[in-house]
Structure 1
Amino acid sequence: MALESVPPKYAQLVAELKRRIEAGQYPPGEMLPSEHQLIAEFSVSRPTVVAALRVLREEGWIEARQGKGRFVRGRPVLSALEHVRAGQLRLSGPEIDLAGDVVEAGAVTAPKRIAALLDVPASGRVFLRRRLLTYQDEPSELLSLWLPLELAEGTGLTSDQPLRQGIREHLESRKGVVFDHVLEQITARMPTTEEAQTLGLGRDVPVLVVFAAVRDATGRPLLVVEAVLPADRHELEDAYPLR
């Protein structure tokens, strides 16, 4: 079973807006279409548009001017080397853009690595939100969010329905936290029996596991994204300048 990775809707919108900027359809200095115009043209939700505009702003393609709107800056220097990291991708886009079901949401005992990344006592209790993502009705990824119990309380993360916001936008608006940076780790291992059964893996198929630990500006851990990816269905790539 071979699966292809399909970008979520907000990432597709980012790619199209970049294409238009590079083609001169939106020249530097021109105001970008409004959120309402983008929603109508691309038939997407407001959270999808907001997530796409955030990525464009963070990468330097556009700038926001208070009370005026968003304006095109043009193709950023080194943009050819830019690449959205795996953890960032799973934090920014609306959950609803990724097909799949919530298979677990509640308090659990933190595994050793998660306890260390969240700076909680060994065997301490944390909140787990786990989704089984699918592509063409086949399992493609096991995505888990681990966070302190107090940070999950009062949020939509306890629901069994996918959020219409990205995780970052949801927690920053609901809990008043500010995501500052991510520590990302990637490991390869054989799947657990449960992972193999859930993902429908054949014998001897390893998994790639991405851990993205999100922290605020003081270094306080906010949450950990854990993505378990069948090695025969995904590949990870990155690009960066040498100077």
Structure 2
Amino acid sequence: MPGQPKYQRIAEQLRRQIDDGGLPPGAKLPTEEELQAAYGVSRPTVRDATDVLQAAGLVERRPGRGGGVFVREQVMIEAYAWRDDQPMSTTSEADLFFRTVREQGHEPSQEFSTRVEPMPADYAALLHVDVGSTAAVRRCLRLVDGVPHSIQDSWYPQWLCEKVPQLFSPHNIAQGTTKLLRERGYHQVAALTTTSARMPTPVEAVLLQIPVVAGTPVLHNVLTGYTADRPLRISAAVFAADKVRLISAHGDIETIARLRR
């Protein structure tokens, strides 16, 4: 493009090679000296070009002997909202995640923890409880092939925890919390999901192993579950945007699933 800086033109050409498979995942880019010679530019221009690719999350710099700039190996997992977010599902949330990942040829795992926190204002408004009231937060750090993929925090208000104290358990609930709550008389009959994009918090960047210089956003998926009488819980999932493709569907879901194979 006329008037476009040289470093941007170089970055676009390298990006095309990555997209086309000419530079596959794990491949090492030409050295800075080789790129200087190939494009007739200075070393700072080459560095600016590779910085653009790094900021886009396409490459990573590896220090030391044998280091350089390498194409990042990324696993893109498809998450099926029509299946995973159904309030009437009899399958646990963990089982759905494990099944979805294995169907795509990868190995899932998760790390679980529970903590008690004050309810933030936005979640308190969704659940019709007081800001700062106690909530049990059940966290799953989900991994694909050993690499962090998403963080799922499920928030349960104090009144519900008093009725179902197992929500405070530091251990994973085998049948899933949705089924546990249904067994205790809190049947989730509907769910509302909103998805937004933003930059990760420092904690999220560390947990999801997002390089600081990558500039990779996250998708923030907030599900509010309802009984017939009141809002019940919030499940907030954070995905690195370069690791997930969220898919939704409408109408005859079975037909879509059958013809999509």
C-alpha distance after superposition, 1:187-219 (max 9, x if no partner): 11101000000110123110111111011112x
State the match for 1:164 in structure 2: 174
State the match for 1:2 in structure 2: 74
Supply the distance in 1 between the matched residues of 2:78 and 2:247 (Cα, whole angstroms).
15
Q: Is the 8 A contact 2:154 2:235 kept in 1?
A: yes
Aligned-residue identity in percent: 28
Supply the distance in 2 between the matched residues of 1:223 and 1:150 (Cα, whole angstroms).
11
State the match for 1:145 in structure 2: 154
Q: Is the 8 A contact 1:179 1:214 kept in 2?
A: yes
Distance change in 2, residues 1:85/1:187 (3 Å) = farther
Q: Is the 8 A contact 2:84 2:93 kept in 1?
A: no
Q: Is the 8 A contact 1:118 1:221 kept in 2?
A: yes
**Of 87, 91, 94, which aligns to 2:92?**
94
Task: Give the total of aligned pairs.
Answer: 164
Pick the structure with greater CA Rg.
2
State the match for 1:239 in structure 2: 249
Amino acid at match of 2:120: P
Distance change in 2, residues 1:187/1:92 (3 Å) = farther
Aligned-residue offset at 1:169 = 0.8
Amino acid at match of 2:85: G
Provide the aligned C-alpha RMSD in A.
Answer: 2.5
Q: If the length of structure 2 is used for normalisation, what is the TM-score?
A: 0.56
State the match for 1:84 in structure 2: 82
For structure 1, the 5+ residue unaligned runs are: 12-82
Distance change in 2, residues 1:106/1:92 (3 Å) = farther
State the match for 1:193 in structure 2: 202
Q: Is the 8 A contact 1:95 1:162 kept in 2?
A: no
Distance change in 2, residues 1:6/1:184 (3 Å) = closer
Q: Is the 8 A contact 1:86 1:210 kept in 2?
A: no
Amino acid at match of 2:82: V
Q: Secondary structure at the match of 1:240?
A: coil
State the match for 2:138 in structure 1: 129
Amino acid at match of 2:223: A
State the match for 1:106 in structure 2: 115
Aligned-residue offset at 1:86 = 4.6
Aligned-residue offset at 1:172 = 1.1
Q: Is the 8 A contact 1:184 1:213 kept in 2?
A: yes
Q: If the length of structure 1 is used for normalisation, what is the TM-score?
A: 0.60
Q: Is the 8 A contact 1:93 1:167 kept in 2?
A: no
Aligned-residue offset at 1:156 = 3.5
Q: Kindly indicate whether residue 221 of structure 2 is the aligned counterpart of residue 223 of structure 1.
A: no
Supply the distance in 2 between the matched residues of 1:112 and 1:150 (Cα, whole angstroms).
17
Aligned-residue offset at 1:170 = 1.2
Supply the distance in 2 between the matched residues of 1:122 and 1:85 (Cα, whole angstroms).
32
- The within-5 A match list for 1:19-34 is none
Supply the distance in 2 between the matched residues of 1:5 and 1:177 (Cα, whole angstroms).
32
State the match for 2:105 in structure 1: none
Supply the distance in 2 between the matched residues of 1:92 and 1:234 (Cα, whole angstroms).
24
Aligned-residue offset at 1:183 = 1.2
Amino acid at match of 1:179: Q
Supply the distance in 2 between the matched residues of 1:127 and 1:143 (Cα, whole angstroms).
13
For structure 2, the 5+ residue unaligned runs are: 1-72, 99-108, 252-261
Q: Is the 8 A contact 2:187 2:227 kept in 1?
A: yes
